C-alpha cells in the first residue's frame, strides 16, 4: 500500500516495540549488543547478516530514523551521523582520494565553502567552485579527476533555488554522482532524487528536527547509481581488504553506498549520531509537513512586506513573483520556496548590525530551521572567514541579513521587523 507524506513522516521505519509494546520508538541507550552465539557474531562482522554490533556503527533508534528519512526522500537507504558537516564528509569519503576533486556551487553555506575550499585539502582533495546557473561552466570544470558534483537545493543564505534537473543532466553525462544538500528545503518541499540526484545530505539539526535541541546529519542513497560502471569509484567497486575482498557494489547492489557508509565510514571516521539525538529528530519529523507549510506561508507574507519597505534595498525570496528564480519553484519546490531568505538593507553594514540588535522576537543565533524566527548577519558571523568577494558570491554581502522565518504569528514578526528597521535608520 502506498502512503502519503503526512502518514510516512509519523510511521515510516517504526513499529511498536516487540518487547514492551511501546508505541514511541524507544531510546536504545546502549553501547553494545549481545550476540546469539559465536557464529552470529562472525556473520555480523563479515557483513553476511544485518544486525547490531556496536553503537558506533548501528543502533535501533538511529536505524528507525535512517529508514524514515530514506523513505521520505525516496531513497534506497540512509546513514545518520553527528552533524551536517559530518554528512558531507561521509558522502564524499567513498568517492574521493588524493588528487581527486569535486565541482561545487558557489552558492553554499559559509561553513561548507570553508570545508570544501580549505579543510578537504588535508585529505588531498580539492573543490572547484562554479556558478551553477552556468551549465557550460559546470561541464567545463569537470575533468578526469572529478568524482562528484555538489550543490544545495535551496541555497543558504539567499534561498536561491538550483535547477536540479539541468545540473543532474550535466553530472549524468559525465558519469558522476550529483550530491544535493536538501537541508533548507526538506523532502516535504523538494525530493532531489526525483530530479536526478544520486545522494542527498541534510543537516538534521535544522528543519528535520525543527526545535533547536540537537545536531545531526544524514546521507541518503538513491540506490540508482552504477558504482562499477567507470572504474572511478574503487572503494565501492573493487575488493575491500578489510572484508576479505568483498565488493560492495557487487554484494549489496542498490544499497552499496549505504552499507559502505556504515561498515567503513562510521567504523573508521566515527561520526556517530547518538540515540538521544535520533529520538529528538524522530519527534521533530512527525510534524515536518505542518511546520513547513507555516514556514512557507509566513516567509511569503513577510518577504512581500519587506520588499515594499523604504529601508530595504532587495529581498531574495524565490517565492516572490519578482524573484528571477520564481519559475523554478514550480518544478523543483512545488510546495513552496522554504522559510529562508536574505534582505539587503539601505545603510549597509551599520544598518544590519543595528537592526539585529533591535529585534525582540527574532533570535540572533547561528542556526536556521527552528520553529522560532532567527536572524544573523552572515558577513560578520557564519561567512566572516570568507573574503568580501566570496561573501558576495555566496549571497552574504556586508549589507545583507539572513532571516529564517519561524512558525509564529506573521503579523507579530512583521511588527518586530518594522520597529527594528525604524530604529536602525534613526
DSSP code string of 134-146: -HHHHHHH--TTE
Asked if 99 and 145 count as a contact pair (C-beta separation under 8 A), the reply is yes
Instruction: Dump pLDDT digits (tens) for 211-260.
Output: 999 999 999 999 999 999 999 999 999 999 999 999 999 999 999 999 99
Contacts 24+ apart (CB under 8 A), 170-176: 170/135, 170/138, 170/139, 170/142, 171/196, 171/198, 172/196, 173/139, 174/139, 174/142, 174/146, 174/149, 175/229, 175/230, 175/232, 176/142, 176/146, 176/147, 176/148, 176/149
Residues 236 and 312 in one domain: no
* Residues linked to residue 375 through DSSP beta bridges, in sequence order: 364, 403
**Nearest Cα to Cα of residue 157 among 310, 327, 339, 363:** 339
pLDDT at position 123: 97
Residues 279 and 294 in one domain: no
Residues 193 and 62 in one domain: yes
Question: In terms of C-beta density within 10 A (0-12 exposed, 13-18 middle, 19 or more buried), how is residue 149 classed?
Answer: buried
The last residue of a domain, from among 250, 284, 318 = 284
Across the chain, mean pLDDT equals 95
Residues 272 and 327 in one domain: no
* Rounded distance between C-alpha atoms, residue 12 and residue 249, angstroms: 26
User: Is the preceding peptide bond at 157 cis, omega within 30 degrees of 0?
Assistant: yes
Confidence class for position 381, pLDDT limits 50, 70, 90: confident
Instruction: Dump pLDDT digits (tens) for 159-218.
Output: 999 999 999 999 999 999 999 999 999 999 999 999 999 999 999 999 999 999 999 999
Placement of cell 529601508 in the chain: 311
Mean pLDDT across the stretch 386-404? 84
Residues 46 and 176 in one domain: yes
* Rounded distance between C-alpha atoms, residue 410 and residue 297, angstroms: 9
Asked if 96 and 102 count as a contact pair (C-beta separation under 8 A), the reply is yes
Residues 278 and 347 in one domain: no
* Rounded distance between C-alpha atoms, residue 226 and residue 383, angstroms: 36
Residue 396 backbone dihedrals phi, psi, to 5 degrees: -130, 50
* Rounded distance between C-alpha atoms, residue 158 and residue 155, angstroms: 6
Please check the confidence at residue 382 and state whether its pLDDT lies above 80. Answer: no
pLDDT at position 289: 98
The last residue of a domain, from among 249, 268, 284 = 284
Residues 377 and 393 in one domain: yes
| CATH assignment of the domain containing 356 | 3.90.1150.10
pLDDT at position 364: 94
* Per-residue CA distances from 338 to 68, 235, 406, 420 (Å): 21, 36, 11, 24
The fraction of the chain above a pLDDT of 70, given in percent, is 100
Residues 54 and 67 in one domain: yes
* Residues linked to residue 363 through DSSP beta bridges, in sequence order: 374
The fraction of the chain above a pLDDT of 90, given in percent, is 90
* Rounded distance between C-alpha atoms, residue 329 and residue 27, angstroms: 38
| CATH assignment of the domain containing 135 | 3.40.640.10
The last residue of a domain, from among 233, 267, 284 = 284
Instruction: Dump pLDDT digits (tens) for 324-342.
Output: 999 999 999 999 999 999 9
Residues 326 and 241 in one domain: no
**Nearest Cα to Cα of residue 245 among 46, 35, 14:** 46
Please check the confidence at residue 158 and state whether its pLDDT lies above 90. Answer: no
**Nearest Cα to Cα of residue 78 among 86, 70, 89:** 70
pLDDT at position 425: 85
Say which residues have a Cβ less than 8 Å from residue 161's Cβ, sequence separation at least 6: 153, 154, 155, 318, 325, 328, 329, 332, 333, 337
Residues 340 and 270 in one domain: no
pLDDT at position 72: 98
pLDDT at position 397: 87
Confidence class for position 96, pLDDT limits 50, 70, 90: very high
Please check the confidence at residue 393 and state whether its pLDDT lies above 80. Answer: no
Query: Which structural domain range is residue 186 located in?
Result: 5-284
Instruction: Dump pLDDT digits (tens) for 34-71.
Output: 999 999 999 999 999 999 999 999 999 999 999 999 99
Q: Which element (helix H / strand E) includes 275?
A: helix 275-285
pLDDT at position 378: 81
Q: Which element (helix H / strand E) includes 341?
A: strand 340-345
Asked if 204 and 281 count as a contact pair (C-beta separation under 8 A), the reply is yes
Residues 267 and 307 in one domain: no
Residue 22 backbone dihedrals phi, psi, to 5 degrees: -55, 130
Instruction: Dump pLDDT digits (tens) for 299-333.
Output: 999 999 999 999 999 999 999 999 999 999 999 99
Please check the confidence at residue 383 and state whether its pLDDT lies above 80. Answer: no
Residues 266 and 293 in one domain: no
Confidence class for position 111, pLDDT limits 50, 70, 90: confident
Number of domains in the chain: 2
Amino acid at each position: 500500500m502506498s502512503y502519503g507524506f503526512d502518514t510516512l513522516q509519523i510511521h515510516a521505519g517504526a513499529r511498536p516495540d516487540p518487547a514492551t509494546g511501546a508505541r514511541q520508538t524507544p531510546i536504545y541507550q546502549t553501547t553494545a549488543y549481545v550476540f546469539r552465539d559465536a557464529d552470529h557474531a562472525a556473520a555480523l562482522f563479515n557483513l553476511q547478516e544485518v544486525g547490531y554490533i556496536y553503537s558506533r556503527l548501528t543502533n535501533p533508534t538511529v536505524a528507525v530514523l535512517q529508514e524514515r528519512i530514506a523513505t521520505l526522500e525516496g531513497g534506497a537507504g540512509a546513514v545518520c551521523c553527528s552533524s551536517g558537516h559530518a554528512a558531507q564528509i561521509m558522502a564524499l569519503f567513498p568517492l574521493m582520494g588524493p588528487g581527486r576533486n569535486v565541482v561545487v556551487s558557489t552558492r553554499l553555506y559559509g561553513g561548507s565553502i570553508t570545508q570544501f575550499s580549505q579543510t578537504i585539502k588535508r585529505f588531498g582533495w580539492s573543490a572547484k567552485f562554479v556558478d551553477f546557473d552556468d551549465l557550460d561552466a559546470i561541464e567545463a570544470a569537470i575533468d578526469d579527476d572529478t568524482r562528484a558534483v555538489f550543490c544545495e537545493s535551496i541555497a543558504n543564505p539567499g534561498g536561491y533555488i538550483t535547477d536540479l534537473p539541468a545540473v543532474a543532466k550535466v553530472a549524468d553525462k559525465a558519469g558522476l554522482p550529483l550530491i544535493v544538500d536538501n537541508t533548507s528545503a526538506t523532502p516535504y518541499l523538494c525530493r532531489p532524487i526525483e530530479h536526478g540526484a544520486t545522494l542527498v545530505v541534510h543537516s538534521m539539526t535544522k528543519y528535520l528536527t525543527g526545535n533547536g535541541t540537537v545536531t545531526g546529519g544524514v546521507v541518503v542513497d538513491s540506490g540508482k547509481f552504477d558504482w562499477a560502471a567507470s572504474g572511478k569509484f574503487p572503494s565501492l567497486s573493487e575488493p575491500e581488504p578489510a572484508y576479505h575482498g568483498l565488493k560492495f557494489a557487487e554484494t549489496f547492489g542498490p544499497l552499496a553506498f549505504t552499507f559502505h557508509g556504515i561498515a567503513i565510514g562510521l567504523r573508521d571516521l566515527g561520526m556517530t549520531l547518538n540515540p538521544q539525538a535520533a529520538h529528538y529528530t524522530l519527534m521533530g519529523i512527525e510534524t515536518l509537513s505542518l511546520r513547513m507549510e507555516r514556514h512557507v506561508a509566513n516567509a511569503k507574507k513577510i518577504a512581500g512586506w519587506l520588499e515594499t519597505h523604504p529601508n530595504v534595498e532587495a529581498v531574495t525570496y524565490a517565492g516572490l513573483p519578482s524573484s528571477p528564480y520564481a519559475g523554478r519553484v514550480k518544478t523543483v519546490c512545488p510546495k513552496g520556496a522554504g522559510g529562508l531568505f536574505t534582505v539587503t538593507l539601505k545603510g549597509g553594514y551599520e544598518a544590519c548590525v543595528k537592526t539585529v540588535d533591535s529585534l525582540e522576537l527574532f533570535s540572533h543565533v547561528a542556526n536556521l530551521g527552528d520553529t522560532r524566527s532567527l536572524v544573523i548577519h552572515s558577513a560578520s558571523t557564519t561567512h566572516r572567514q570568507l573574503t568580501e568577494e566570496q561573501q558576495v558570491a555566496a549571497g552574504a554581502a556586508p549589507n545583507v541579513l539572513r532571516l529564517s522565518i519561524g512558525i509564529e504569528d506573521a503579523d507579530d514578526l512583521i511588527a518586530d521587523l518594522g520597529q527594528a528597521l525604524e530604529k536602525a535608520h534613526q
